[in-house]
Amino acid sequence: MPTLCRPAVSVPEHVVTMEDTLEFAEKIHHGKPQLPLALRLIQRTGVRKRHIVQPIEEALGHPGFEERNRLYEMESKKRCPPVITEALTNADLTVQDIDVIIYVSCTGFLMPSLTAWLINSMGFRSDTRQIPIAQLGCAAGGAAINRAHDFCMAYPGGNVLIVSCELCSLCYQPEDDDIGSLLSGGLFGDAVAAAVVRGHGGTGVRLERNASYLVPQTEDWISYAVRATGFHFRLDRRVPGTMKPLAPVLRELAADHGWDAGNLDFYIIHAGGPRILDDLAEYLNVDRTMFRHSWATLTECGNIASAVVLEALRRQFEENAIPPGATGMIAGFGPGITAEMSAGRWALDSRDPSSRPTARSQGFLEPGRVARQQVV
């Protein structure tokens, strides 16, 4: 079974506290009718601090869509390589061992994808497959894990690198003053994360089953309006209540695997906001402390979009308290409304790294050769 190894996560050096957020919101949006409610909602998020790629005074301005996308390219190229290097080290692999790079981001646009630049600049093989995911928002972290799982099941021995680069502060729109925009301005933070899914061996979550689900008729609840000034985030007030239809889907995923979703050993859940976590704990009948790594991510980093599940998983590794065979679930939620979910067990790798086969040694890269194996 493929194994999701220890992630590497980096947050930028510029810190925005809750007090900073409230102060600047008062200053920039003073007199707007929605501001008092927005300030109360921001305070209820529990976000103590966030990290952004520019000083807050610069982040609150708008130099234009072109300049913002230039900043996105510059910052992503600066910040991704060291995180990737750490993730590869965590997985006991090198760039030459990677068969696929899945790059997820919803906060900037590059074509070709950053994957092409990474392959050329970091020494990945020229036949490394590229899978950019740009439009699943916060759900993309879970989607990347699931697509990595699918690939490794189809091509046993393959290794997949997941990279998440979310620079949410570059999407701030100072002229938008609706509740959703004001709330998102006080909730989202920036982060870069990476993790490797090994097709063979490795310590971490041994992925056993994955699933996707789209809540019908909710595609306009989380969305971007793309205008001359860039991406304008739109958030429907019904979004915090989406755990009611999604909790049964998580239960079904676990039940199909012979497990009880309310009685697992660990949970890596997207921290979209406090109500998401509280409601899911209630509907799954799980003590909220089981979501402690998601809560800590929300408190100390804010909502870092697709990077949330990797940061929460990193914290699970740091806790170093899970025995082999422990059961768990990973879930990311985002636009659609989409849920990307996976189930697996904690596994330790005590074998000699040199004894582990690679995708190349198994020949799956040879022209016309396709492994036929059902995806769990």
Residue 144 located in a structural domain: yes
Tell me the pLDDT tens digit for each residue of 62-97. Answer: 999 999 999 999 999 999 999 999 999 999 999 999
pLDDT score, position 24: 87
Quote the distance between the C-alpha of residue 90 and its chain's center.
Answer: 18
The answer to the question of residue 356 being in a domain is: no
Domain membership flag for residue 368: no
Q: Which SS3 state, helix, strand or coil, does residue 43 take?
A: helix
**pLDDT at position 350, please?**
65
234 lies in some domain: yes
- What local confidence, expressed as pLDDT, does residue 63 receive? 93
Mean pLDDT of the chain, nearest integer: 90
**Residues 257 and 153 grouped into a single domain:** no
Based on the domain organization, do 217 and 254 belong to the same domain?
Answer: yes
Higher pLDDT, 23 or 372: 23
Q: Could you give the CA distance from residue 187 to residue 138 in angstroms, rounded to a whole number?
A: 13
Residue pair 346/205 in contact (Cβ under 8 Å)? The answer is yes
Give the pLDDT of residue 351.
61
Residues 69 and 148 in one domain: yes
Give the model confidence (pLDDT) of 337-361 as tens digits. 999 999 999 999 866 343 344 444 3
320 vs 48, residue with greater confidence: 48
pLDDT score at 272 = 87
Residue with tokens 């996976």: 342
179/38 same-domain check: yes
Question: Do 44 and 186 sit in the same domain of this protein?
Answer: yes
The yes-or-no verdict on residue 157 having pLDDT over 80 is: yes
Tell whether the model's pLDDT for residue 373 goes beyond 80: no
Per-residue pLDDT of 201-218, as tens digits, reads 999 999 999 999 999 999
Question: Is 364 within the bounds of a domain?
Answer: no
Q: What is the pLDDT of residue 353?
A: 45
> Can you list the alpha helix ranges (DSSP code H) found in the chain?
18-28, 35-44, 56-59, 65-90, 114-122, 140-154, 179-185, 243-256, 274-284, 292-301, 308-319
Q: Let me know if residue 353 belongs to a domain.
A: no
- CATH number for the domain harbouring residue 268: 3.40.47.10
Asked if residue 359 belongs to a domain, the reply is no
> What does the pLDDT read at residue 355?
34
DSSP state of 135: S
Is the pLDDT at 371 greater than 80, yes or no? no
Same domain, 193 and 50: yes
> Quick one: average pLDDT of 245-261?
96
> Per residue in 326-336, pLDDT tens?
999 999 999 99
Asked if the model's pLDDT at residue 39 lies above 80, the reply is yes
User: What is the DSSP pairing of strand 159-167 with strand 190-198?
Assistant: antiparallel
Same domain, 229 and 146: no
**How high is the pLDDT of residue 170?**
95
d(C-alpha 332, C-alpha 173), whole Å: 25
Q: Which residue has the higher pLDDT, 330 or 322?
A: 330
Cβ neighbours of 157 (radius 10 Å): 21
Q: How far apart are CA 249 and CA 241, in angstroms?
A: 15
* 56/134 same-domain check: yes
Percent of the chain whose predicted confidence (pLDDT) is above 90: 74
Q: Looking at 5, 80, 138, 152, which residue is catalytic?
A: 138
Query: What would the pLDDT profile of 110-151 be if each residue is shown by its tens digit?
Result: 999 999 999 999 999 999 999 999 999 999 999 999 999 999
Asked which of 202, 230, 247 is the last residue of a domain, the reply is 202
In total, how many domains does the chain have? 2
* 175 and 224 both lie in a single domain: no
Q: Are 85 and 201 in contact (CB under 8 A)?
A: no
Is 5 labeled as catalytic in the residue annotation? no
Q: Which residue, 180, 202, 224, sits at the end of a domain?
A: 202
Same domain, 100 and 222: no
Together in a domain, 161 and 32? yes
pLDDT (0 to 100) of residue 34: 84
Domain limits at 260? 205-347
Band (281; pLDDT cuts 50, 70, 90) = very high
Same domain, 192 and 286: no
Q: Tell me, what's the pLDDT at 185?
A: 85
Is residue 374 included in any domain, yes or no? no
Residue 32, pLDDT score: 83
Would you put residue 106 in left (φ > 0), alpha (ψ -120 to 50) or beta?
alpha
Report whether pLDDT(376) > 50: no
